[in-house]
Structure formats: C-alpha cells, structure tokens
Homo-oligomer: A and B are copies of this chain.
Amino acid sequence: MEAQQFREFGRAAVDLLADYVENIRDREVLPSVEPGYLLDILPQEAPEQPEEWQEIINDFKETVLPGMSSPVCTELEVLTMNWLGKLIGLPEEFLNCSSGPGGGVIQGSASEATLVGLLVAKEKTVRKLMKLNPDLDEDEIKPKLVAYTSDQCNSSVEKAGLLGSMKMRLLKADSNARLRGETLKQAFEEDRAQGLIPCYVIANLGTTGTCAFDALNEIGPVCKEADVWLHIDAAYAGAAFMCPEYRHLMKGVEYADSFDVNAHKWMPVSFDCSAMWVKNGYDLINTFDVQRIYLDDVQTDIKIPDYRHWQMPLGRRFRSLKLWMVMRIYGAEGLRNLVRTQISLAQHFANLVRADDRFLVEPEPSMGLVCFRLKDGDNINKKLLKNLTNKKKVYMVAGSFRERYIIRFVVCSRLTNKEDVEYSWNEIKTEADLLSQEKIHAKAQIPAIDIVARELCEKSK
C-alpha cells in the first residue's frame, strides 16, 4: 500500500471509530447474529488478488460490526486462520474447516506458542500415564518429563522449559546446523534408560542463527513412534511456505501436533500476531479450562471455539482483524511476491559478497538471510561489525557457524529494494577497505613498536 492510500485508509478508519462512539446509543448492547454467521457470509479462502481498502471498510461495517464483539472476534479468527493455514499448505487436519477437532488460534508470540505446546504436552502425557497406571502420582511423573530441541533453537524455546518446569535438552545439531532424527532417537533412548519420560519436541524450521531447517521428515517418525508431542517453530521461515517451491522444507509436517508461524515477522502484519495451529483443540481445552460461575454462559463447540481455553491468559484482543486486512490488501499473490522478492534480494546480496574475494558466504543463504565473514578470522569480523554498527547506516547482528563468528544480513522489510541492498553492500565494502588499510598500516608499524618495547625492556632491567 502506497503512503497516499494509507493516509486515506487511515482517515477513513479514524472517522469510522469516531462515528461509532458518537452513535453508540443507537446500537443494541448485544449482537443479533447466530453462531457461525460470519463463516457463512465471508469467502473460505484468502483473495488471490489485492482488494481496495474501500471494499474492506465496507465489509467491516456490513459483516464485522453486526457481530461485535465476542462472536465476530472468534469467528474472524477461525476464518483468517483457515485462510492462512491453506495459504501455507498445512495439512487439512490442522484446520478448523476440516471434519476433525483441529484449528488455528492467534497467540502473542512464538515464545507463547512454544510454552502453550509444552504445557499441553505435559498435561496430556501425565493423563495418559495415569490412565495406564492409576497408582502413579502426578507429582512423581512431572519431574521426569523431558523436552527436546536443537542447540540452534531460539532462546525463547529454552525459556519455555524454564517457565513450564520441564527439563529442556538442547541436542547437538549436525554440521549444517540441523537437528537430525537419529540424534533425537538416541536422546530418547538415553533418557528412558535413566527412567525419564520424553514428552515434548520442538522442531525448528528456520533457526534464528542461520535459518537452518531441522530434518522434520526424520524427527516426525521418531516422535510418532514414541507418542511424543511434536511442535514446529517456524516463527520466521513459515511464511515462505506460502510459496509451493519452499514446501519441501516442511516435509514431515503431517507428524506434528502443533505448528507456529509469526504473521508479524515475515508477513507485513504488525506485532503481535503469532499464528498457531493444533491437530486437536480438545488437548488445549483440557489444559486451560477452569470452569467458574461467571463464565457459565459459554458453550463448548470446537467449531466455534471458546478461545480463552486455547491460550494462557483469559482476555484476548481482536488480532484477526489486522490479519484479515493484510491478507485482503495484499492478496495471496502479493504476499507470495513479498517473500520471493526478499529472497531474491538476499541472493543478490550474496552474489555481491561472493564477488569480493576477501569475503566468504557461509553457510549457504537461506530465505532472506545471508551469513558472511571476512576470511581473516573472528577478530577482524567483530571489528567490521562494530564499525558498521557505530556508523549507523546498516544494522546487522552476529551469529556463529561451525564455531566461526559470522555476520548476519537479513532482508525482511516490505520496503527494501535493490538500491538498499547495494547501498548496504557498499557500506560493508567501504568499512572492509578501511580495515584492510589499517592492517597494512599496523603491520608497517610493528617493527617500530618492537624497537620501543625492546628499549623499555632493557631500561627496566
């Protein structure tokens, strides 16, 4: 959306809010719609082409406003999570529109989704074991439960273990930073031999450090055989699955119990909006439902879910509204184009780096991320990044790969263009040139310093 369009859309939205408040006494205090009303009138798929904001505002007035607030807040979330789930090619079992108990829910962040998955896995495992053996005590089982992920995981994954009181094993990824099935299987066996109980696995599709993809097609069957909850954290890279050419990276997704992608990361939805799907919504309800008198008026229907039992807090915002608007403003094609453009810009950057033989691109670029370094060793790279950060023209964060310091260049804004990428590369190149000159200069100075040092040394004797 161009700035001028945004100004017009924004003004129309402000007026709509002001009109609403000015005329609030003309409205009834409760909506007059039947459950499912919105799912019946809105399309079942995201539009392929962008739509005009005037049309969206109009639909808001005609379809959303009559269902304010609770029915429409739930139903628009069901609808948009179906749209997005279909768009990224999730198996039908994850969708509310399938015949089963699956469905999507918007959480605040991938951290929250990982913790939700962990709490549900814990509850489910405890119930299962107590059913198998009624003499078992819940308090004996819980300390034995173990969660597993790769040592490349985001720190929020580790934090979930901390918050959910579950041991979290960070398993060694392979030389390409991917967690492999065999490693996981071995960890299960080691732990079982010690009387521990594998409970929860987080597979990372697109790690934070290098955007590596865990071998889901190996991990999935290991989890399935062990009857362990498999959660997929595709916080960033999940958006790429909107493009069929990247779906091979989620081969094995059919083994997962839950899947999460941040619509606020690579899709242009404002923070926060973390899209999570589960195959069985009842698993969430069994973990999060506390029935009390003043909540008695709500029925449990998995097709019109009572989302407060699908999450940790009780209250919830109307986050599907922004997801709905973004999907309509861009259209499916527009969203796929954003992903493809940004990946090709990253490729362009990688080519610029490769053309300079002082630099290495390593590992292979993945999605919008290009990791690179000067061939000369860690210290010079640290200095390069420090100088660039101080100059404030490009902002990058370091990482590590095969125990080497790497600099991470990411394209992730809808506004980034080819000129920005070339501008960034020139900034990097210029700083590298300066560092090369300093190095030559420093080398030339060493003998002189050596002489002074030797003299001082002799004097002090």
The chain A residues found within 8 Å of chain B, CB to CB, are: 3-4, 6-7, 10-11, 13-15, 17-18, 21-22, 24-25, 28-30, 32, 108-109, 111-112, 115, 119, 122, 138-139, 142-143, 154-156, 158-159, 162-165, 208-209, 271-272, 287-288, 290-295, 297, 312-315, 317, 389, 392-395, 397-400, 415, 420
Q: Which residues of B contact A3 (CB under 8 A)?
A: 18, 21-22
Which 7 A-B residue pairs are closest in the complex by CB-CB distance?
A10-B14, A139-B143, A111-B313, A28-B392, A155-B292, A29-B395, A109-B313
Cross-chain contact B294 with A29 (CB below 8 angstroms) = no
A353 to chain B, nearest CB (A): 19
Q: Return chain B residues, CB-CB under 8 Å to A395.
A: 29-30
Residues in B neighbouring A25, C-beta threshold 8 A: 420
5 residue pairs bridging A and B, Cβ less than 8 Å apart? A7-B14, A30-B389, A159-B290, A208-B294, A312-B312
CA gap between A398 and B295 in the complex, in Å: 10
Could you tell me if A392 and B271 are in contact, using CB atoms closer than 8 angstroms?
no
With a CB–CB cut-off of 8 A, which chain B residues contact A287?
Answer: 162
Tallying the copies of this chain within the complex gives 2
Task: Please state if A108 and B111 are interface contacts (CB–CB under 8 Å).
Answer: no
A111 proximity list for chain B (CB < 8 A): 312-315
Measured between beta carbons, the chain B residues less than 8 angstroms from A122 are 165
Q: Which of A14, A112, A271, A398 has the most CB of B within 10 A?
A: A14
Chain B residues whose CB sits within 8 angstroms of the CB of A415 once the complex forms = 21, 24
Given A111-B313, A156-B313, A297-B397: 12 more A-B contacts, CB < 8 Å:
A7-B15, A11-B14, A25-B420, A109-B313, A109-B315, A142-B143, A143-B143, A158-B292, A159-B290, A159-B314, A293-B400, A312-B312
Question: A17-B10, A30-B392, A32-B392 given as contacts; is B271 within 8 A of A317 (CB)?
Answer: yes
B165 with A142: CB separation less than 8 A: yes
Q: Take A142-B143, A290-B162 as given contacts and tell me if A6 and B18 are in contact as well, using a CB distance cutoff of 8 Å.
A: yes
Which residues of chain B have C-beta atoms less than 8 A from A271's C-beta?
315, 317
Q: Is the interface of A mostly helix, strand, loop or mixed?
A: helix
Q: How far is it, in angstroms, between the C-alpha of A167 and the C-alpha of B112 when the chains are bound?
A: 22
Chain B residues closer than 8 Å to A30, beta-carbon distance: 389, 392, 395
- Whether A393 pairs with B28 at a CB distance below 8 angstroms is yes
The complex places the Cα of A162 from the Cα of B287 at a distance, in Å, of 8
Q: Would you give the shortest CB distance from A264 to chain B, in whole angstroms?
A: 8
Q: Is the CB of B315 within 8 A of A272?
A: yes
Q: Given A392-B28, A392-B32, A399-B294, do A312 and B14 touch, yes or no (CB 8 Å)?
A: no
In this complex, which of A11, A15, A108 has the most chain B Cβ atoms within 10 angstroms of its Cβ?
A108
Whether the pair B24, A317 counts as a contact (CB closer than 8 A) is: no
| Complex CA distance for A165 and B156, rounded to whole angstroms | 20
Question: When chains A and B are docked, how far (Å) is the Cα of A394 from the Cα of B25?
Answer: 11
Give the chain B neighbours of A4 by CB distance below 8 A. Answer: 18
Chain B residues closer than 8 Å to A115, beta-carbon distance: 312
Residues of B within 8 A of A208 (CB): 294
A17 neighbours in B (Cβ, 8 Å): 6, 10
Beta-carbon contact of A288 and B14 below 8 Å: no
Most chain B CB within 10 A, of A18, A25, A111, A395, is at A18
| A13 to B287 alpha-carbon distance, docked (Å) | 42
A87 CB, nearest partner CB in chain B, Å: 23
With a CB–CB cut-off of 8 A, which chain B residues contact A13? 10, 14
Query: Are A14 and B18 in contact (CB-based, < 8 A)?
Result: no
Least CB distance, A74 to chain B, in whole angstroms:
16
A162 to B15, CA, bound (A): 43
Given contacts A156-B314, A400-B293, contact A18 B10 (CB under 8 A): yes
Which of A32, A139, A295 gathers the greatest number of chain B CB atoms within 10 Å? A139
CB distance from A386 to the nearest CB of B (A): 11
- From known contacts A3-B21, A22-B3, A395-B29, infer whether A155 and B317 are also in contact, taking CB-CB under 8 Å: no
Interface-central residue, A21, A24, A111, A294, by most chain B CB under 10 Å: A294
Report the minimal beta-carbon distance from A141 to chain B, rounded to whole angstroms. Answer: 10
Question: Do A393 and B292 touch across chains, with their CB atoms under 8 A apart?
Answer: no
> Are B109 and A314 closer than 8 Å at their CB atoms?
yes
Complexed CA–CA distance, A25 and B393 (Å): 10
**A22 contacts which chain B residues (CB < 8 A)?**
3
Task: Find chain B residues with CB under 8 A from A28 CB.
Answer: 392-393
Most buried by B among A18, A209, A315: A315
